[in-house]
Amino acid sequence: MTDISARPLRPARRRSSKWAQKLAPYFFLAPFLVLFIVFLVVPLFYALQLSFFRETMVGGIRFVGLDNYGKALTDQKFWDGVLLLLRYGLFQLPVMLGAALLLALILDSGMLWARAFFRLGLFLPYAVPTVIAALIWGYLYGPSFGPMTQIADYFGLPRPDLFNANTMLYAIANISIWEHVGYFMIIYFAALQAIPADFEEAAVVSGARAWQYVIYVKLPLIRGTILVTVIFATIGALQLFAEPYLLEALAPAVITSSYTPNIYAYNLAFVNQDYNYSAAISFVLGAVVAVVSYVFQLVSARREGK
């Protein structure tokens, strides 16, 4: 006769397999979570701690509470940089996202020959590191050695001065547009490709023209994608750093140590050795980015509600 007491082992195995299934996602996420905590969360809390202190000549490092934040909120250099970035975004975002959307619509139309080649070619600038892109365009912009200057000299035209106070912001925006148009184009193109073909067939049957189908069908269907890209692009614009920092050597009179908030925070920390105030500036800038993104999302949601 078989031993009945040995039979209850099967439910225990089932329970252990259920626990294994529940823990499996956390096991695969563990490497990411460890890196995320070590290289983002911990430094973030450390910077937050620094922002509540100040180093003095007499008392050394002492706790000052929100004094650094109060100083940042009244710092004219910081707010001048924020206003500069708002001007930058008002020019860069419509041009960059508008060009990306137009190129995506052209690719999605199916009328372009060698579509895969053009898609890869337009996306390729995004694969170029920002440092390399800034150096390339800095050479092209060069007032005494760049190709634009050489062409102007050859034809006897005045040399273009793209490093003055009036044109520098647009020269930097051009670098960012060149870098990111292909990236946002791919996002829009993927969203357009996800639209079912039945919508186009219904539009053709109803007698709608191609431009009517684009305006009244395609664009409303990818409105959510457009909103997300606008928010991401706005955040990127308010965090501008690499391009002006690398062009500073070519235009030191225009790109100052407080040209953008990120450059200002960088110089405070690594030039003036004022890590505490630099941390406060960084968190205030993060709050500005969050507020601007939230306001834009709120306004867009209200408009859609109408």
Helix (H) or strand (E) holding 82: helix 76-109
The number of beta carbons lying within 10 Å of the beta carbon of residue 277 is: 23
Whether 112 and 252 map to the same domain: the answer is yes
**Position 66 in a domain:** no
pTM of the model: 0.85
Whether 35 and 105 map to the same domain: the answer is no
- Structural contact between residues 168 and 251, judged by C-beta atoms closer than 8 angstroms: yes
The Cα–Cα gap between 188 and 171 comes to 25
**Position 295 in a domain:** yes
Whether 44 and 168 map to the same domain: the answer is no
Whether 40 and 149 map to the same domain: the answer is no
**Position 56 in a domain:** no
Residue position matching structure tokens 């200057």: 149
Residue 199 confidence (pLDDT): 83
Whether 263 and 135 map to the same domain: the answer is yes
What are 63's strand-pairing partners?
53
Q: What's the Rg (C-alpha) of the chain?
A: 27
Whether 105 and 244 map to the same domain: the answer is yes
Whether 10 and 99 map to the same domain: the answer is no
Residue 162 confidence (pLDDT): 86
* Alpha carbon of residue 26 to chain centroid: 29
Residue 298 confidence (pLDDT): 86
Residue 128 confidence (pLDDT): 92
The Cα–Cα gap between 25 and 48 comes to 31
Query: Could you give the number of structural domains in the chain?
Result: 2
Whether 260 and 126 map to the same domain: the answer is yes
Whether 150 and 274 map to the same domain: the answer is yes
Whether 112 and 9 map to the same domain: the answer is no
Whether 219 and 253 map to the same domain: the answer is yes
CB burial of 153-186 (b: ≥16 within 10 Å; e: otherwise) equals eeeeeeeeebbeeeebbebbbbbbbbbbbbbbbb
pLDDT, block means (10 residues), the chain with 306 residues: 51 65 85 92 93 81 90 95 94 95 90 83 92 91 83 86 89 94 95 88 81 87 92 92 92 92 95 93 94 86 68
Whether 232 and 132 map to the same domain: the answer is yes
The Cα–Cα gap between 257 and 268 comes to 9
Range of the domain at 34: 4-50
**Position 265 in a domain:** yes
